[in-house]
Amino acid sequence: MKNKNTNNLVFSTILGNGSDKNSNGKDYNVQSSTFRLIFSFINLYALILILLFFIVKGNLVEGIDNNFLDTGFSSVLNARAMLLFLLLTSLNITAYFNYGFKYVCLIMLVYMLNSAIDNAVLFSGFMHITDRPYFSAFNVTRPLFIIALFWVFIIHKDKDKSD
Nearer to other proteins among residue 60 and residue 86 (C-beta)? 86
Nearer to other proteins among residue 67 and residue 130 (C-beta)? 67
d(CA 18, CA 22): 6
> Are the C-beta atoms of 46 and 90 separated by less than 8 Å?
no
> Are the C-beta atoms of 115 and 80 separated by less than 8 Å?
yes
Buried-state track 73-108, b at ≥16 Cβ within 10 A, e below 16 = beeebeebbeebeebbebbeebbeebbebeebbeeb
User: In the range 93-122, which residues lie near other proteins by CB under 8 A?
Assistant: 102-103, 106-107, 109-111, 114-115, 117-118, 121-122
Considering only CA atoms, which of 119, 113, 128, 135 is closest in space to residue 57?
135
Of the listed pieces 15-23, 36-44, 49-57, 76-84, which binds other proteins according to CB under 8 A? 76-84
Which residue in 9, 79, 86, 155 binds other proteins (CB under 8 A)? 79
Which residue in 72, 128, 137, 147 binds other proteins (CB under 8 A)? 72
> Are the C-beta atoms of 142 and 127 separated by less than 8 Å?
no
Nearer to other proteins among residue 20 and residue 118 (C-beta)? 118
The residue ranges that bind other proteins (CB under 8 A) are 71-72, 75-76, 79-80, 83, 102-103, 106-107, 109-111, 114-115, 117-118, 121-122, 161-162
